C-alpha cells in the first residue's frame, strides 16, 4: 500500500475486532497506510461492517460474548467476500492455522510476536480486495452514467432489506423519472438526451452519502436507495434532489425536471418486491399529478 495511500479513496480500510484493541496493532497498520476502525466487542463488528466497508477484518480470538469462530461464521454469511485474519497469543502452529483456514479466515497470526507478518498479510489482502472491488464495480456499472446498474441495484436493495430484518435499520427507495425525455430527444437529438441523463446522474451522486446506492435502471428511470433513512429524511432528500435538478440548466436543453416516488421500509413495505412496487406506484402518481414533484407512498395496510 505504502504511505502515499494513507489518505484518499485508495486507502485500505481495516476493521479491528477486539475487546481491548492494542495501540501497537493499530499504530503499525496505520503506519502501513491503512485506516483502522477499532471495535470493542465482537457483535459490534456486524453493525460496523456496513458503515466502514472494510477491505480486511482482523479478529482477536480472545473475544467475550461471542467466540471468534462464531463471529467468523457470521462474517462469512453477512459480507460479500471481505477477507478476515484471526490473531491471538497462542502459537501459530500448523494445526491452529489449518483450523483458521477451515473457519473461513485467510490466516492465523501469533501476536505480538508476528506483528510485522500481520501488517504484510493485511497489505496483501487489501490489495487483493481492492482489485476484486474494481472488477466488480466495472461489471455493475451503467455504461453511460457510471452509476450502479440494475443488477447492482437489486443486490443493494436485498442487502438493505436484510439489514432491516436483522437489525431493525430502516431504509428508503426513491424511484426517479426524467420528465418528457422523449420530447428532449425529439427536439434536440439523442446526444442532448444523453447529456440530460448524465446531468441527473451527477445530481444523484452529489446528493448521495457513502452508504447510499444511486442507480440507473434503464432509459430515463433512476433509483436512489437510502441507507438508515426514515420517511421524513427520505422525503427531504427527494425534495433536495428535485430542486437541484430543476435549478441547474442542462446544456443544449435548458431546464429539466424529474418526478420522484418514495417508499420506506418498514412503513410502506417490508420486502424487496413490495418496496419497489410501492415506490413505483408513488412515482406513477407523481407523473399523473403533473410531474416535477415528490409523492410518498401510503402506509402499508397491516394484514
Residues 242, 144: Cα–Cα separation, whole Å: 21
* Domains, the chain, with CATH or none: 3-139 (3.40.50.2300), 150-296 (3.30.70.270)
* DSSP-based helix, strand, coil % in the chain, nearest 5: 50, 20, 30
Catalytic residue among 110, 123, 160, 220: 220
Terminal-to-terminal C-alpha distance of the chain: 54
Q: What's the pLDDT score for residue 90?
A: 92
Question: What would you measure as the largest C-alpha separation in the chain, in angstroms?
Answer: 73
Query: Looking up cell 491452529, which residue turns up?
Result: 96
Query: Which residues of the chain have a pLDDT value below 70?
Result: 1-9, 21-22, 40, 42, 78-80, 301-303
Catalytic site residue 162? no
Q: What's the pLDDT score for residue 138?
A: 78
Residue 74, CA distances (Å) to 71, 82, 103, 109, 184 in order: 5, 12, 11, 20, 50
Amino acid at each position: 500500500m505504502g504511505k502515499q495511500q494513507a489518505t484518499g479513496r485508495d486507502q485500505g480500510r481495516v476493521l479491528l475486532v477486539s475487546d481491548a484493541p492494542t495501540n501497537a496493532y493499530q499504530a503499525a497498520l496505520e503506519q502501513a497506510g491503512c485506516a483502522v476502525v477499532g471495535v470493542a466487542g465482537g457483535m459490534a463488528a456486524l453493525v460496523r461492517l456496513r458503515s466502514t466497508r472494510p477491505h480486511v477484518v482482523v479478529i482477536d480470538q480472545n473475544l467475550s460474548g461471542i467466540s471468534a469462530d462464531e463471529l467468523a461464521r457470521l462474517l462469512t454469511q453477512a459480507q460479500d467476500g471481505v477477507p478476515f485474519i484471526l490473531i491471538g497469543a497462542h502459537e501459530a502452529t500448523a494445526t491452529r492455522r489449518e483450523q483458521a483456514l477451515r473457519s473461513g479466515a485467510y490466516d492465523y497470526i501469533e501476536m505480538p510476536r508476528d506483528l510485522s507478518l500481520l501488517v504484510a498479510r493485511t497489505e496483501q489482502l487489501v490489495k487483493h480486495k481492492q482489485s476484486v472491488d474494481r472488477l466488480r464495480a466495472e461489471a455493475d456499472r451503467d455504461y453511460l452514467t457510471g452509476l450502479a446498474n440494475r443488477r447492482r441495484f437489486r443486490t443493494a436493495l436485498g442487502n438493505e432489506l436484510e439489514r432491516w430484518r436483522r437489525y431493525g435499520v430502516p431504509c428508503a427507495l426513491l424511484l426517479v423519472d426524467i420528465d418528457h425525455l422523449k420530447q428532449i430527444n425529439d427536439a434536440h437529438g439523442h446526444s442532448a438526451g444523453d447529456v440530460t441523463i448524465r446531468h441527473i446522474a451527477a445530481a444523484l451522486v452529489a446528493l448521495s452519502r457513502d452508504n447510499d446506492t444511486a442507480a440507473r435502471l434503464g432509459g430515463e428511470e433512476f433509483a436512489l436507495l437510502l441507507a438508515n433513512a426514515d420517511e421524513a429524511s427520505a422525503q427531504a432528500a427527494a425534495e433536495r434532489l428535485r430542486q437541484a435538478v430543476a435549478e441547474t440548466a442542462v446544456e443544449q436543453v435548458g431546464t429539466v425536471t424529474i418526478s420522484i416516488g418514495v417508499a420506506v421500509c418498514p412503513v410502506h413495505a417490508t420486502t424487496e418486491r413490495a418496496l419497489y412496487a410501492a415506490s413505483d406506484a408513488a412515482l406513477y402518481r407523481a407523473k399523473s399529478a403533473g410531474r416535477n414533484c415528490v409523492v410518498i407512498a401510503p402506509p402499508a395496510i397491516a394484514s
